């Protein structure tokens, strides 16, 4: 009985004390790959994604007493950059030598697991597309995402960690199907 009590105490203490976790790597999205393939045979290079001066949660996302960091670098703008690259590579539309370059600025990035039954995330990125250093597309795209959560931190926090890549997947899908983006890269937009 004493071992069980000590085990419960240390488990509860670690939840209350908080810990730092690395976000799951972005695996790519079938939906996004299909949207990119619909653009035709256009090749795109991924440039830099930066943090805005006013963006919150650049280096870590706070979930109660826990934090989430990017597996790709010191800030979450690197997460967006790698996610864009991953979807383009999986679609066969990525090239390091393309004159068409996509980049962006991360403005909002947050996960909220303080609710009793619903978790929520928001991400806002100002995407830009340029060709030969001429900007062809510049637009802020905002994505909200909600999921079933729990008051219990042991349930809510792991669920939120696994929902972060889904938030980014949805954000990027909004980019890849945007009419201005399709026009800027010279995509055919075939169906």
What is the CATH number that goes with domain 19-185?
Answer: 3.30.160.150
pLDDT digits (tens, 9 = 90+) for 20-78: 899 999 999 999 999 999 999 999 999 999 999 876 667 788 888 899 999 999 999 99
pLDDT at position 119: 93
Q: Which of 12-16, 29-33, 56-60, 181-185 has the lowest mean pLDDT?
A: 12-16
- DSSP structure string for 101-113: EEEEEEEEEEEE-
- 65: phi then psi, degrees, rounded to nearest 5: -95, 10
Report yes or no: 27 and 165 within 8 Å, Cβ to Cβ: yes
Stated pTM of the model: 0.86
Rounded Cα–Cα distance for residues 15 and 19 (Å) = 7
pLDDT at position 13: 40
Mean pLDDT of the chain: 88
pLDDT at position 134: 96
């Amino acid at each position: 009985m004493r071992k069980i009590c000590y085990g419960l105490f240390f488990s509860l203490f670690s939840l209350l004390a908080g810990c730092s976790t690395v976000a799951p790597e972005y695996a790519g999205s079938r939906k996004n790959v299909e949207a990119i393939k619909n653009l035709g045979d256009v090749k795109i290079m991924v440039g830099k994604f930066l943090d805005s001066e006013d963006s919150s949660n650049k280096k870590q996302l706070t979930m109660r007493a826990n934090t989430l960091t990017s597996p790709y670098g010191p800030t979450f703008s690197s997460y967006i950059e790698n996610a864009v690259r991953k979807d383009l590579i999986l679609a066969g539309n990525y090239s390091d030598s393309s004159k068409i370059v996509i980049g962006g600025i991360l403005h909002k990035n947050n996960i909220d697991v303080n609710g009793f039954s619903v978790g929520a995330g928001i991400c806002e990125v100002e995407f830009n597309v340029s060709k030969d250093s001429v900007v062809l597309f510049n637009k802020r795209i905002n994505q909200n995402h909600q999921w079933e959560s729990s008051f219990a931190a042991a349930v809510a926090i792991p669920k939120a960690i696994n929902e972060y890549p889904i938030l980014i997947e949805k954000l990027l899908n909004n980019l890849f199907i945007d009419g201005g983006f399709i026009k800027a890269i010279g995509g055919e937009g075939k169906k």
